[in-house]
Amino acid sequence: QKEVEQDPGPLSVPEGAIVSLNCTYSNSAFQYFMWYRQYSRKGPELLMYTYSSGNKEDGRFTAQVDKSSKYISLFIRDSQPSDSATYLCAMVGNQFYFGTGTSLTVIP
Amino acid sequence: GAVVSQHPSRVICKSGTSVKIECRSLDFQATTMFWYRQFPKQSLMLMATSNEGSKATYEQGVEKDKFLINHASLTLSTLTVTSAHPEDSSFYICSARGFSTAAQETQYFGPGTRLLVL
């Protein structure tokens, strides 16, 4: 079983939709959780990080962690074409583990 | 947030030549740096992990004699692709582990280097 599972998509949504991106994990020792955004031909950029269960908001983005279910989500409200990218989740225990990334396209 | 730079951003070379890619952490000290490889529309593939002052740890299937990694300081790591061949053409991304402004350890990525071997 992989440490981190992430649906690769691709996911296409109309502009303005709410997007939900998800990852599941198997290691209960993970302490920190992160989301990265990677545009085509660019390196990943850190979007959000959190270390506790619950929600964390930053503008149109909300990161949610449910440690009891070993499940994390990234919600994007009022999605924009500029949000089109690949989103990777990452988890930190004794080392970093990355999801494979979900490709998102927001259609104008 | 923390910044990681890579140089060059793009390189084209002839088959058989060697190419060096630099990765620098600009405003934090990175005791650990990582090198990834990414083919089009595929996920990041970890090649190796390097700690400052010690030998890099390579992932299974990655030739350490072909991909030379040097982590000479807390802010600089280099990847040298020796005797490059067309199949080495890829997007190489470095990453540095450090502490965010909130003193939480996280990992920052460089912008990537696109290598094309003719």
| Chain segment A82-104, per-residue pLDDT in tens | 999 999 999 887 777 889 899 99
Query: Quick check: A101 and B44 CB within 8 A?
Result: yes
Instruction: Over range B46-55, report the average pLDDT.
Output: 87
* Burial of B76 (C-beta count, 10 Å sphere; 0-12/13-18/19+): middle
**Per-residue pLDDT, A65:** 94
| Shortest Cα–Cα distance, B106 to chain A (Å) | 8
Say yes or no for a CB contact (<8 Å) between B43 and A90: no
Q: Can you tell me which residue has the tokens 């190796």?
A: B48
- Evaluate whether B61 touches B46 at the Cβ level (below 8 Å): no
- Which amino acid, one-letter code, is at B44? L
Per-residue pLDDT, averaged over A55-59, amounts to 93
Task: For residues B100-118, give the mean pLDDT.
Answer: 82
Residue ranges of chain A whose CB lies within 8 Å of a chain B CB: 8, 32, 34, 36, 41-46, 49, 51, 88, 90, 92, 96, 98-101, 103
The residue written with tokens 């990694």 in the block is: B69
pLDDT single digits (tens) B68-83: 999 888 889 999 999 9
Region of B68 on the Ramachandran plot (φ > 0 left; ψ -120 to 50 alpha; else beta): beta
Cβ contacts of A2 on chain B, cutoff 8 Å: none
Confidence grade of residue B3 (pLDDT, cut at 50, 70, 90): confident
The predicted structure's pLDDT at residue B102: 57
Chain A hits for B109, CB-CB cut-off 8 Å, are 36, 43-46
The pair of three-digit structure tokens given for residue A6, joined into one six-digit string: 């992430």
Is A49 close to B104, i.e. CB distance below 8 A? yes
Categorize the per-residue pLDDT at B87 as very low, low, confident or very high, splitting at 50, 70 and 90: very high
The answer to whether A51 contacts B104, with C-beta atoms less than 8 Å apart, is: yes
